[in-house]
Structure 1
């Protein structure tokens, strides 16, 4: 969808596709109510997935949500960088320092707040961003609530909004890294990002379980759950000052949930 769609009466999904007049009037007229800020990373995803998978998939989910909820929602994707120091051993990976990355995300949210937006969901596509944001999100929320009392800022990774549904489909914890979950979604939503020859060269990998059909279902789960969350934000829900669940905490929870109970051991 190009920027001219606004001139024909249909709001575009990306903020950069608006003219300044269109954006100003959409906010002042009460039509545009929420911004999804898509964040992710550009980093190695094994030999079979393009390195922009994290930011590309987060943006894809966000744009699909914006299309469903038009004209109330628009998407901004301010940076292709994430916090990826742990992947810098692989050439091509890009990483930001935490302070620089926080500044870009914070300033993006603050820009929308200054222009009258009162609901912002930062939608994440890179697990490595979760723990750092976990340590600062509550401070951001308190800052914006002080400056704009009716402002609501939330942060979620798209897989966390329907984690149980996704894990039922893939049978393991999500998202993994370039495994079944991410590869299936890429086969469906970002087919140009998948090297099928490289994928076939790693028999036994979880990635080889991926299918386009599974990816369609996983992508729909993510889009539907995110859209529902945004609708609830617009209805005044999810205003809590929250502390996210880090990747490490989720791993420990998954491990605890996988340990058989004494009853199941006895009955096996």
Structure 2
């Protein structure tokens, strides 16, 4: 393993020697690639929310699986055309976004990773990725998975932890409402403007609490850790879809 004073799960913090030694040791077996967005999150939350939240989850999963997993620098901006009426939103066209995802996955494959989890934190990225994932699997014949970090949550979690509504996906994850506000209050409360929550028409963010954010995070990290452990152990393998010309 690399001669580091501490193990940092963020790949960008490593030197090339440290990474090379980690791969040669065969202990580093998987990588998480976060996807997100920079867009409006109502009046009360900072526009970087999706990026911060997906990285919080990714880094905790990697910590649970250390030294076998690292988190690569993913894509901060996503497909957010539907939010462009709110100035400050940054959006990529679907073609550009998918091309960059493909290039980053290719880079990780060429680096030697055989288990890659592309972990999404923005709803607008989901359908474009799902619709093209067969092509990704054919281009990159490794154990390549795509999911949003909230995909491991279910109706029971919504009923157990949410007060304002229990619909999936309208309330869980929703958008800048009880769930996302709770996550922000737990992990980056400086991004939440409490006065704005009082002023805006949507009242559901007021139901968000730090405690709910902690409870959701605990469930998400535990289940995603189990999911990726299966990837590393070989019990959760992605199959290459057949090609029908």
* Fold shared by both chains (TM-score > 0.5): yes
- 2:12, 2:73 within 8 Å by CA — same for their partners in 1? no
Asked if structure 1 preserves the Cα contact closer than 8 Å seen for 2:9 and 2:71, the reply is yes
Distance 1:188 1:25 in 2: 36
1:98 equivalent to 2:89? Answer no
Q: Secondary structure at the match of 1:141?
A: helix
Judge conservation of contact 1:189–1:219 (CA < 8 Å) in 2.
no
| Counterpart pick for 1:167 among 141, 158, 162 | 158
- Following TM superposition, by how much is the alpha carbon of 1:94 offset from its aligned partner in structure 2, in angstroms? 0.3
* Secondary structure in 1 matching 2:154: helix
Please say if residues 115 and 144 of structure 2, whose CA atoms lie closer than 8 Å, have aligned partners that are also in contact: yes
Report the Cα distance in structure 2 between the residues aligned to 1:54 and 1:154, rounded to whole angstroms.
19
Deviation of 1:237 after TM superposition, in Å, equals 2.7
> So what's the TM-score if we normalise by structure 2?
0.90
Secondary structure of 1:61's counterpart equals: helix
Structure (1 or 2) with the greater helix fraction = 1
Alignment partner for residue 140 of structure 1, among 136, 140, 160? Answer: 136
8 Å Cα contact 1:39-1:77 kept in structure 2: no
Instruction: Please give the per-residue CA displacement for 1:160-193, whole angstroms capped at 9, x wherever unaligned.
Output: 0223353231142311001101001110011111
Report what 1:24 is aligned to: 20
* Counterpart residue number, 2:193: 195
What SS is found at the alignment partner of 2:85?
A: coil
**2:145 pairs with one of 125, 146, 154:** 154
Q: Which runs of 5+ in 2 are unaligned?
A: none
Deviation readout 1:54-90 (Å, 9 max, x if unpaired): 1110011001111121111100132211000000000
- What is the distance in 1 between the residues matched to 2:58 and 2:127? 21
Q: Which residue of 2 aligns with 1:50?
A: 46
Residue of 85, 108, 114 corresponding to 1:112: 108
Q: How many residues align?
A: 233
Structure 1: gaps spanning 5 or more residues: 1-5, 146-150, 244-268
1:222 aligns with 2:220: yes
Larger Rg: 1
